[in-house]
Amino acid sequence: MSNVTLEKVSRSFGDFVAVDSVDLRVEEGEFVTLLGPSGCGKTTTLRMVAGLEQNTGGRISIGNEVVSDAASKFVVPSERRRLGMVFQSYAIWPHMTVFENVAYPLRVRRRPNAEVQDLVMRALRLVEMERFAERPAPALSGGQQQRVAIARALVFEPKVLLLDEPLSNLDAKLRLQMGDEFRSIQKRLGMTSLYVTHDQSEAMALSDRVVVMDRGRIQQIGAPEEIYRRPVNRTVAAFFGTPNLLDASVESCRRIAGGRIQLDVAGQGWRGPCDAAAELTPGQSVTVMVRPEDARIAGPDAVRGEHELQWTGRIAHTIFRGPTRSVFVDTEGGRINVDAPAFGNYAIGDNVNVLVPQSAAWAVIGHKEAA
Amino acid sequence: MSISAELPPRPVPRPSLFAGLGAFGRALGATSAGRFIAIALLIAVLAFLSVYPLSMLLYGSLHSTPPGVAGEFNLDGYADVFTWQSFVTLANTVGISLAKTIPSLMLAILLAWILARTDTPMRGTLEVLVTLPFFIPPILTAMAWGMLGNPQVGLINQVYQWITGSTAPLINVYSYGGVVWHMMQYSVPFLFLLIVDAFRAMDPGLEEAARMCGASRWRTFRTVTLQLMMPALTGAAILSFVRGIENFESPLFFGSPAGIRVITTDIYDSINQRSPPQYQYATAISFVILVLLLLVVLAQWRMLKGRSFTTVTGKGYSPAVMKLGKWRWFTFALCMLFFVVTVVLPVGQLLIGSFFQFFGFYQWDMLTLDHYRAVFSSGEFWRGFRNTMLLGLVGATLTMLLGGIVAYVSVRTRWRGRMLIDGMAWLPWMMPGIVLGVGFLWGFALLPHAIPIYGTLWALLLAYISLGTPLSVRVMTSAYAQLSYDLEECSRVHGANWLQTMWRIMIALAWPAFAVGWVLLFFGIMRELSASVLLYSVGSEVLSVVLMKLWANGNAEQVSVIGMIMMVMVLVIRWIQLRLIKTRIGAL
């Protein structure tokens, strides 16, 4: 197992900068996910680590060994980087059997036959595909091809495993199952993994750390919980789930116990305290993020508690979602989406209050326009 | 109506053209009687174009005298086929075709790889240049090479002897090598066109996966790229082999003078060069070669059954382009060399030849425009030109219409009999032009005198339509296959009748394919020699026949002039075609 280090890595196509000065260090055995909308440069970043794409700036090292340095034009070709890779299309070779597909990396390395036999079967057992060894590859379902692709990437004990949206071609149910299985294999083997996806729930479920990218730049690096709770800017905040983003301006700012920063903010028809990542000066514009699952609906006469924020409005419409019901409340400060109990009594036009614990409100710099 | 009589006459409101045709379309498409008539009509037309000449071959091979002459039935024709002489001819045919297919395939793979998968400069232009030889009528390059590689006065040998001082010629095109070489000029671009998309469309992940597994580029190419392409390559190679057996121009120009006989020239000789013409032998050997080709095609179907790999995924990744560094100028030069040798040399020879007084003597004081004057004042040239243009325009249009209908019936309807229609339209696919020519020769001669097709332009037109139908059906089938049924059904649901649907949706969307197919057929007709040479008669000569007559008379200078004129036509049409494809791709 090895670590991966990217120092100021860039990739430009003509004038277009696909990846802009990315710094990232993946520790040994860590599972790091590159997350972002399509075109954000995450796949390009992964392919530069793989050596399938040339970085036009910066340096990439794997296991403390430089594999690509744009300044000195030094490049180790893909085949000598000893990386395992799982492709979005799986890239299972249709002219070979499952066994031959998985054996390929070993054959290339001229391992003796007995060893090949042994290692391939072990890899296939790991992904529970040993029964299919002699099947021709085209006779596999999507999920099975996926498993073969993982076995092939693992069989020669690569330094790092790279995965390019490996679950995106599977249906929703299988995606969850394969994701969980893969995570457990990864943990068992302690495999350093770099994973690319545009699916935020996948990223949160699988990763030790998530790297959120947008327009070629890293927006935030952190544990899934941290990124979900404490996004550093509007882009990251908007990317996870469907949060309410409410414009406000700072009234005062203070540091409280534990180094946290608390703001008093005021928006259209509401005011109150909330947490923030950085110290801000009064008068600055902020966006306050409130997640639907943190808000609750109260009657028109409800009074907010000491550590709560309050909005008053009327119910615009509701959507039944099974476990919860989305209730949309029109307030002076904008429309707020609340995850309410599925079988509560909400009628359109009801006057209600929306209450949110102050600790669940999180402010980031900037307004909607600025984002 | 009394009022209308006092008013100025007004056009009677008539049902619109659409409504009128729509009713007809409905009658054809929707009623079972109409459907039956449509199917019967189509079957009758196709039967006349493919089954009829085929059965006439069988008839003629058993008939002891030329068409139209009373005779008896016997097996003498087949007895002549199974002789040592014929066996040598057959071995020559197969051997030459193999000898050209294998190097052509290797060269085509190399070119396809260079142009589809490397960063060789100006790949777009190179692709146009490298495929150009395919569109030049082979009779032109045959004659040009006949001049270039003539052992006594050929330009190449003259230059070689002038440089080295040697007296021996460098090359002699009148040899096995000459035949193979001339065939290769066509089969390389032909194979290239067939396989280049397989190189281009492959999911790059399949190769990248191999690289990530530690395989070098060469190993990746060998164990993944090439293996994945095997089905496409074998298919293309077999087709090229069949085309080699069917080839007429190369052995006619370079084989016959050297005494090298292949089956196509043998058929031609026994009808045109022998007196009395040996129709029975020609027909019998035609039938035999047809059966052999059928076996090859069937073998190919068996071999390729289920061996086609879908390597294209939805993801819009263009395949990885290999960076060649300095070597990209080498690959560039390689492509240019191919273009120079297959296009610039022969066309240059025609150009030079058309301006000098005598072929083989190139001195400044011998420059002349006389040959151009002679050609432009020659009635024979203009007649051939008119006939070729007429046949090209009408033939290509009719063939595409027929192909469009056949493809529609076989792909988009569930009519009974559509398999039969598809099969009949495919039959001429493996018929060499000369064999079809022999079949039609018999067929037209045996028609009642009230249908005077024999010896007229109609004979050529019908033969060209027959030869072109398999291509037009293929082009239109793939065009229809890309159009989802929903488009058609949606139009119907929204109230358009059958004909409106055809017109607005199907034809509007399929016309680019129609145009591409049309141009290919026009090229095909312009270059056709083997069937024409059997079916023409005085007054219905086409350009290729005019050229051949001039060549036979030793008039290389006027051949060069007509060759140049045809070359200009080829370039213009090819340019239009490329523009068409470009705008079509741009629109999609």
Q: B222 contacts in A (CB within 8 Å)? A: none
* Predicted confidence (pLDDT) at residue B537 exceeds the cutoff of 90: no
The stretch A176-182 carries a mean pLDDT of 87
Contact A52 B320 (CB under 8 A): yes
Nearest CA distance, B238 vs chain A (angstrom) = 21
**What is the pLDDT averaged over residues B362-366?**
72
Radius of gyration of chain A (CA): 25
Dig out the tokens for B141 from the structure.
């390059």
Confidence of residue B14 (pLDDT cuts 50, 70, 90): very low
Share in percent of chain B as helix, strand, coil (round to 5): 75, 0, 25
SS3 at position B5: helix
**Angle of helix B379-412 versus helix B508-527 axis, rounded to 10:** 140
**Residues of B within an 8 Å Cβ radius of A:** 203, 205-206, 208-216, 219, 223-224, 227-228, 230, 309-311, 313, 315, 320
Q: Model confidence at B18, in pLDDT bands (50, 70, 90)?
A: very low
Q: Is residue A287 part of a domain?
A: yes
CA gap A292, A201 in Å, rounded: 16
The answer to whether residues A114 and A16 belong to one domain is: yes
CA distance B148 to B563: 14
pLDDT reported for residue A371: 40
SS (H, E, C) chain A: CCCEEEEEEEEEECCEEEEEEEEEEECCCCEEEEECCCCCCHHHHHHHHHCCCCCCEEEEEECCEEEEECCCCEECCHHHCCEEEECCCCCCCCCCEHHHHHHHHHHHCCCCHHHHHHHHHHHHHHCCCHHHCCCEHHHCCHHHHHHHHHHHHHCCCCCEEEEECCCCCCCHHHHHHHHHHHHHHHHHHCCCEEEEECCHHHHHHHCCEEEEEECCEEEEEECHHHHHHCCCCHHHHHHCCCCEEEEEEEEEEEECHHHCEEEEEEECCEEEEEEECCCCCCCCEEEEEECHHHCEEECCCCCCCCCEEEEEEEEEEEEECCCEEEEEEEECCEEEEEEEECCCCCCCCCEEEEEEEHHHCEEEECCCCCC
Q: What are the chain B neighbours of A152 within 8 Å (beta carbons)?
A: 209, 213
Q: Over the stretch B80-94, which tens digit does the pLDDT of each residue have?
A: 788 888 889 999 999
Number of domains in chain A: 2
The phi and psi torsions of A25 (rounded to 5 degrees) equal -130, 120
Q: Out of A50, A79, A91, whose CB is closest to B214?
A: A79
In this structure, are residues B321 and B211 in contact, taking their beta carbons and an 8 Å threshold? no
Is A344 inside a domain boundary?
yes
Q: Are residues A197 and A275 in the same domain?
A: no
**Domains in chain B with CATH codes:** 89-280+324-351 (1.10.3720.10), 369-588 (1.10.3720.10)
What letters, b where the CB count within 10 A reaches 16 and e where it falls short, cover B142-152? bbbbbbbbbee
The H-or-E segment that residue B264 falls in is: helix B263-272
pLDDT reading at B322 higher than 90: no
Residue A370 covered by a domain:
no
Q: What is the mean pLDDT of residues A6-22?
A: 92
Q: Tell whether A195 and A259 lie within a shared domain.
A: no
> Same domain, yes or no, for A228 and A206?
yes
C-beta separation of B480 from B556 below 8 A: no
Same domain assignment for residues A91 and A152: yes
Q: Domain containing A225 — which CATH number?
A: 3.40.50.300
Give the mean pLDDT of B261-278.
86
Q: A80, B211: Cβ pair inside 8 Å?
A: no
pLDDT at residue B380 is higher than 90: no
Q: Identify the burial level of A32 via C-beta atoms within 10 angstroms of its C-beta, where 0-12 means exposed, 13-18 middle and 19 or more buried.
A: buried
Please compute the mean of the pLDDT values over residues B318-336 and round it to a whole number.
Answer: 83
In the prediction, which pLDDT does B8 show? 44
pLDDT-based confidence at B517, cuts 50/70/90? confident
Subunit contact A95:B228, Cβ cutoff 8 A: yes
pLDDT higher than threshold 60 for residue B7 = no
Mean pLDDT on A137-162: 89
Res B382 pLDDT > 70? yes
Residue in A51, A79, A162 nearest the CB of B215: A79
How far apart CA B374 and CA B384 sit, in angstroms, is 15
Sort A196 into a burial class: Cβ within 10 Å, 0-12 / 13-18 / 19+: buried
The pair of structure tokens assigned to B350 is: 């025609």
Q: Which two structure tokens, joined as six digits, stand for A370?
A: 């600025």
- Percentage, residues of chain B above pLDDT 70: 87
Place of tokens 């409800």: A302
pLDDT of residue B80: 79
Rounded CA gap, A42 and A341, in Å? 37
Task: State phi, psi for A292 to the nearest 5 degrees.
Answer: -55, -35
Residues of A in contact with B230 (CB under 8 A): 95
Give domain status of residue A304, yes or no: yes
Are A217 and A245 in the same domain? no
Cβ(B114)–Cβ(B334) below 8 Å: yes
Query: Quick one: pLDDT band at residue B393, thresholds 50, 70, 90?
Result: very high
Contact (CB<8Å) A52/B216: no
Measured between beta carbons, which residues in chain A are less than 8 angstroms from residue B227? 93, 95
Which of A88, A108, A110 should be substituted to probe chain B, the one whose Cβ sees the most B Cβ atoms within 10 Å? Answer: A108
Which range marks the domain in which residue A176 is found? 4-233
> Could you say which of A233, A259, A290 is where a domain stops?
A233
What pLDDT was estimated at residue A117? 94
Determine, for residues B228 and A93 on separate chains, whether the beta-carbon distance falls below 8 Å: yes
Counting other chains too, the contacts that A252-257 makes at CB distance below 8 Å and 24 or more residues apart are A252/A282, A253/A279, A253/A280, A253/A281, A253/A282, A255/A279
Q: What confidence tens digit (pLDDT) does each residue in B225-250 have?
A: 888 888 888 888 888 998 899 899 99
Report pLDDT for B313: 43
**Which one is predicted more confidently, B429 or A8?**
A8
- Would you say residue B343 has pLDDT above 50? yes
Distance of alpha carbon B517 from its chain centroid, rounded? Answer: 11
Taking only the tens place, the pLDDT of each residue in B404-456 is 888 888 877 777 778 888 888 888 887 888 888 888 888 888 887 777 777 78
Comparing CA positions, the residue from B510, B527, B413, B415 lying closest to residue B468 is B527
At residue B568, the 3 state secondary structure works out as helix
β-bridge partners, A319: A326
pLDDT digits (tens, 9 = 90+) for B106-157: 999 999 989 988 888 888 889 889 989 988 899 999 989 988 888 877 888 8
* Cα–Cα distance measured from residue A303 to residue A308, given in angstroms and rounded to the nearest whole number: 10
**pLDDT over 70 for what percent of chain A?**
99
The pLDDT value recorded for residue B13 is: 44
- Predicted pLDDT of residue B577: 78
Domain stop point among A180, A199, A233: A233
Q: What percent of chain A has pLDDT over 90?
A: 52
Q: Are residues A252 and A327 in the same domain?
A: yes
Tokens found for residue B379: 């009635």
Give domain status of residue A215, yes or no: yes
Do B251 and B262 touch, CB atoms closer than 8 A? Answer: yes
Structure tokens belonging to residue B414 = 């569930």
Residue B282 has pLDDT above 50, yes or no: yes
Last residue of a domain, one of A233, A266, A299: A233
Chain A positions in Cβ-Cβ contact with residue B212 (cut-off 8 Å) = 50, 52, 78-79, 83-85, 153, 162
Q: How many CA atoms lie within 13 A of B271 on its CB side?
A: 27
Residues of B in contact with A151 (CB under 8 A): none
Indicate whether A59 pLDDT > 90.
yes
Residue A287 sits in a domain whose CATH number is: 2.40.50.140
Residues A138 and A19 reside in one and the same domain: yes
Question: Average pLDDT of A286-303?
Answer: 89
B214/A80 Cβ within 8 A: yes
Which chain A residues touch B315 with a CB distance below 8 Å?
88-89
Chain A residues within an 8 Å CB radius of B209: 85, 87, 91, 93, 149, 152
For residue B588, is pLDDT > 70?
no
In a domain, A275, yes or no: yes
Give the pLDDT mean for A337-364. 89
Residues in chain B closer than 8 A to A138 (CB atoms): 309
Tell me the C-alpha distance between B284 and B275, whole Å: 18
Residue A41 forms contact with B (CB below 8 Å): no
Higher per-residue confidence, B77 vs B518: B518
Q: What is the mean pLDDT of residues A191-210?
A: 92
Pair (A39, A150) in one structural domain: yes
Residue B374: per-residue pLDDT? 84
Strand partners, A34: A196, A211
Least confident of A17-21, A190-194, B549-553: B549-553
The more confident residue out of B584 and B6 is B584
One domain, residues A35 and A170: yes
Q: What is the mean pLDDT of residues B394-401?
A: 93
Q: How confident is the model at residue B288 (pLDDT cuts 50, 70, 90)?
A: confident
User: Encoding tokens for residue B434?
Assistant: 């000369």
pLDDT in tens, B577-587: 787 766 554 44
Rounded mean pLDDT, B31-51: 84
From CA B568, how far away is CA B295, in angstroms rounded?
Answer: 40
A108 and chain B: CB distance < 8 Å anywhere? yes
Q: Which residues of B touch A52 (CB under 8 A)?
A: 208, 211-212, 320
> A59-72: buried (b, 16+ CB within 10 Å) or exposed (e) per residue?
bbbbbeeebbbbee
Contact: A89, B208; criterion CB under 8 Å: no
Long-range contacts of B177-181 (CB under 8 A, 24+ apart): B178/B145, B178/B149, B178/B250, B178/B254, B178/B255, B178/B258, B179/B96, B179/B250, B179/B251, B179/B254, B179/B255, B179/B260, B179/B262, B180/B96, B180/B99, B180/B100, B181/B145
Res. B23: pLDDT tops 80: no
Check B209 against A87: CB less than 8 A apart: yes
pLDDT band at A178 (very low <50, low <70, confident <90, very high): confident
Both A130 and A30 in a single domain?
Answer: yes
pLDDT of residue B390: 93
Q: Report the residue of chain A nearest B319, measured CA to CA.
A: A52
Q: Tell me the per-residue pLDDT of B460-499, one tens digit each, with 9 for 90 and over.
A: 999 999 999 988 888 888 777 776 677 677 777 777 777 7
User: With an 8 Å Cβ cutoff, are B205 and A89 in contact?
Assistant: yes
Q: With respect to residue A371, please indicate whether it lies within any of the assigned structural domains.
A: no
Residue A27 lies in a domain: yes
Do A168 and A303 lie in one domain? The reply is no
